Each structure stands twice: as structure tokens, then as C-alpha cells.
Amino acid sequence: MFAPTPDECGTLADIRVQGDTSGLSGLAALVIGRKVRSSLAKDLRDLERWLSPPQNGA
């Protein structure tokens, strides 16, 4: 879900990752979950940098 923020200075994204974590995959989910969060955070930082106007002196 994407929605403009009230001050219209950005966009709010609600990101959900779902999957089956039964059996041994439940143990792996702990490790994989951390990697997924890290990757999503990096992707969102990259997207913000790509969409933002250039900074003065950059």
C-alpha cells in the first residue's frame, strides 16, 4: 500500500513479507527475516536517494 503523507512531502509504504515458517524452515526464518529486513531497508534507502532531488554541491 502506498499513500501520500499528510504534509505531501513523501509517501508511506506498508510492506509485508509473508511465508510458511513450519518445521525446520521456522528456524531458518529467524536468520532469513533479518536478511530480508536489511535488504528492504537498503532498497528503500536506494529508492529514496534515486527519487530525491540532487543536493547542492553534490
Distance CA 28, CA 20 (A): 11
From the CA atom positions of the chain, what is the Rg in Å? Answer: 16
| Residues written for the chain | 58
What would the pLDDT profile of 38-48 be if each residue is shown by its tens digit? 888 898 888 88
What would the pLDDT profile of 4-47 be if each residue is shown by its tens digit? 566 666 666 777 777 666 777 777 777 888 888 888 889 888 88
pLDDT given for residue 5 in this prediction? 63
pLDDT given for residue 16 in this prediction? 76
How far is the CA of 29 from the CAs of 44, 48, 49, 58, in angstroms? Answer: 22, 28, 30, 40
pLDDT given for residue 47 in this prediction? 84
Name the grid cell of 54: 540532487
